[in-house]
Amino acid sequence: MLDLLQNFARKAARIPPPLMLAALYAALILVGAVALKLPVAHVRPLSWSEVLFTSTSAVTVTGLSVIDVGQHLTLFGQVVIAVLMQLGGIGLMTFAALVLGALGMSVGLTGQIYLRNDLNHNSMNQLLRLVRLIVKIVLICEVAGAVLLTFAFVPRSGLGQGLWEAVFHSISAFNNAGFSTFSEGLAPFATDPVINIVIPALFIVGGIGYVVLHDLHQRDVWHGWTLNTKVMLTGTAALIVWSVSMFAFLEWDNPGTLGALDSRIDRLIVSWFQGVTPRTAGFNTTNISAMHDSTSMMFISLMLIGGGPSSTAGGIKVTTFAVMLVATVAFFRRQSQFNLFGRAVAMEEVLKVMALTVLSLMIVFVSVFLLAASNEGHFLDITFEVASAFGTVGLSRGYTTSLNEFGRVVIMVVMFIGRVGPLTLGFVLATQTVPRVRYPVGKIHLG
């Protein structure tokens, strides 16, 4: 038996870290599906398609669901969802950068390059300290969030149920999952001050990234911050201002959303909550399917951008989007060097950004094509669903329950790629190879 275990360990050590990470997530999804399939987990019988979809959505902290979590799952089933969200949110950060090495698996040069670029830490001791900080932040934020949310949920649902709803939504919000035990989401709490402060605070902090939070804790304000921190904070603030103001502008008189509210203050409150949601968490306090097409298009772009690296959010990341914009501006200005906040951005980073962006768009387009070819529905609804799955956001225009079996498989794959894919791509792009043959430069006419 010992020889078999040693042989298995040697074979596992030779598996590339990205593939091992993907295998761990796939295993967690299967375990979650089996747990949800147990009779004690559900009120009504659930098919394997339903439990696999729900488990995938929870592990990838997306929030799309083909079942009603509050109505179709028992307390045990809801606990399973909460555990999957927690492991999926924290697991991506810790498993990606540390656990593979902590388990004795060789990360190699590729892993070292990725760790240096993504976490700005080279030694294992520093990474261990970062993970301890992650645990502290998670505990503080989720416990504080749960305590504050009791003021909104306990008066409505009673002490026991209200406490559980507070814990569940705190975990869901901090991990940017977007799952809710309420059939209408958080729409009944659209103007509740506690919900509109605590929930956004949780998913914004979770979506910024722990490297940024560590930097804020360790260094002086602004001048001591790293370039990554400056880009993340500036980009996040700009996107929040843009999304909130544009949502208010586009939906102000829409009778299906903001127009249904009489008070201007209430409209601004809903605009704030719904405006900060699309990049990270899939919570809603208004009817998403009733939004104007223009607003839905804006949401699609925000969902594809996502949050920060090494965070609980998905998407191509704010830093990727920022570097892409700077490189585009520099090209039209005929600049040979790309600068951000007094620091140059290496051409290697720009190439990574372009590759990640192109790959992401290809995944989205292919997925939209597959759904459009196999499922009936409005094109905008399908595109919105795919963007939400890839960005692991969880917002939907009501299309999730209309998916057939093949459509569910497509969305599950997109959710999985959206959570694991960028990390895998980072490892692949970090591999450096020296060309054996150099060819003369050729001329290609572009544009």
pLDDT tens digits, residue range 4-14? Answer: 545 654 555 56
Instruction: Please check whether residue 435 lies inside any domain of the structure.
Output: no
Residue 308 has pLDDT above 90, yes or no: no
- Amino acid type, 424: T
Instruction: Please check whether residue 361 lies inside any domain of the structure.
Output: yes
pLDDT of residue 119: 46
**What is the domain range of residue 423?**
16-429
Instruction: Please check whether residue 1 lies inside any domain of the structure.
Output: no
Q: How far apart are CA 411 and CA 393, in angstroms?
A: 12
Give the number of other CB atoms < 10 A from CB of residue 306. 28
Arithmetic mean of pLDDT over the chain:
83
pLDDT of residue 422: 57
User: 408 - beta bridge partners?
Assistant: none
Ordered DSSP codes for 388-403: HHHTT----SS-GGG-
DSSP state of 344: E
Instruction: Please check whether residue 410 lies inside any domain of the structure.
Output: yes
Helix (H) and strand (E) counts for the chain? 18, 2
Q: Where are the alpha helices (DSSP H) in 60-186?
A: 69-72, 75-94, 100-102, 108-119, 124-157, 159-174
pTM of the model: 0.86
Instruction: Please check whether residue 447 lies inside any domain of the structure.
Output: no
Q: Identify the top-confidence range among 75-79, 226-230, 397-401.
A: 75-79
Residue for token pair 């201007």: 264
DSSP state of 35: H
Instruction: Please check whether residue 10 lies inside any domain of the structure.
Output: no
First-to-last C-alpha distance (Å) of the chain = 63
Q: How far apart are CA 65 and CA 6, in angstroms?
A: 40
Instruction: Please check whether residue 92 lies inside any domain of the structure.
Output: yes
Q: How far apart are CA 316 and CA 310, in angstroms?
A: 12
For CA atoms 331, 335, 341, 345, the dihedral sign is: positive
pLDDT of residue 267: 95
pLDDT of residue 100: 47
Tens of pLDDT, residue by residue over 144-197, are 999 999 999 999 999 999 999 999 999 999 998 889 999 888 999 999 999 999
Q: Identify the top-confidence range among 98-102, 213-217, 258-262, 342-346.
A: 258-262
Instruction: Please check whether residue 439 lies inside any domain of the structure.
Output: no
Phi/psi at 29 (nearest 5 deg)? Answer: -65, -45
Tens of pLDDT, residue by residue over 194-244, are 999 999 999 998 888 777 887 777 776 777 788 888 889 899 999 999 999
Total domain count, the chain = 1
Residue 343 host element (H or E): strand 343-345
Note the residue count of the chain: 447
